[in-house]
Amino acid sequence: MKILIVYGTTEGQTAKISHFIGGTLKDGGHEVTVADASQTPPSPALYDAVIIGASIHMHRYQSAVLHYITSHIETLRKMPGAFFSVCLAIASDFEEEHKEARKIAADFLKHAGWEPVMTTQIAGALKYRQYDFFTRLIMKMIARKEGRTTDSSKDYEYTDWNAVREFAKEFTVRVRIHPVAAGTAEPVRY
């Protein structure tokens, strides 16, 4: 199967996750293209299935991802697709934060008018060493509030790579069961 992965990223974690998903799918015998939403990605019309990912910053996803989805919405509605959201809230010990993260994803997809067959939440990373002074300050405040580490001399990765691998595998299973339109399949929420 020809699968396209399009991602939005700000500090690189969603790009890393996208390439990892791509590697998992290639190991499963699929032909995969991984593209940055901000770098003129190919049309989904050239593929059998699509996976789109974006990360949350201040409760919002990268505008290039919204632009990609809305520009290709008619094609996306006719093919199997999955959306993955990368953020830190989902790695929190507080259920409220998880709910908020899921709501951001649900509102985004509703606004975009896209109903992928699968939607999942993936924990991202705290990249203190990449942030400028102001961003580092904000992230330390958020981290303190969530009981996370504020030692900004290091970066911290919360991504569960086994869960990411399972998401990729589950997607190919679902695409085989529902090969035509996303709208005909029962959406799976993780």
Ligand X SMILES: Cc1cc2nc3c(=O)[nH]c(=O)nc-3n(C[C@H](O)[C@H](O)[C@H](O)COP(=O)(O)O)c2cc1C
The count of chain residues that interact with ligand X, using the rule CB under 6 A, is: 23
* Residue showing the smallest CB distance to ligand X in the complex: 124
Provide the minimum distance between the beta carbon of 136 and ligand X in the complex, in angstroms, as a whole number.
Answer: 9
Q: Is 144 in the site for ligand X (CB under 6 A)?
A: no
Among 135, 170, 188, 190, binds ligand X (CB under 6 A): 135
**Residue 3 to residue 175: CA distance in whole angstroms:** 11
For residue 52, the cross-strand partners are 6, 83
CB atoms within 10 A of CB 98: 16
Element (H, E) at 140: helix 133-145
* Closer Cβ to ligand X, 121 or 172, answer by number: 121
Which region among 40-48, 68-76, 83-91, 169-177 touches ligand X (by CB under 6 A)? 83-91
Residue of 15, 21, 87, 84 whose CA lies nearest to 52: 84
167, 18, 46: which is closest to 7 by C-alpha?
18
Q: Is 14 an interacting residue with respect to ligand X (CB under 6 A)?
A: yes
Minimum gap (Å) between residue 76 Cβ and ligand X: 21
Residue 93 Cβ vs ligand X, minimum distance, rounded to whole Å: 13
Q: Which of residues 88-127 bind ligand X (CB under 6 A)?
A: 88-89, 101, 124-126
Distance CA 106, CA 119 (A): 9
Distance (Å, whole) CA 16 – CA 11 = 10
The answer to whether the beta carbons of residues 28 and 16 sit under 8 Å apart is no
Separation of alpha carbons 92 and 28, rounded Å: 32
Question: Does residue 175 interact with ligand X by CB under 6 A?
Answer: no
CB of 122 to ligand X, least distance (A): 9
Q: Of residues 6, 13, 76, 175, which one binds ligand X by CB under 6 A?
A: 13
Footprint of ligand X on this chain (CB under 6 A)? 9-14, 55-59, 86-89, 101, 124-126, 131, 135, 138-139
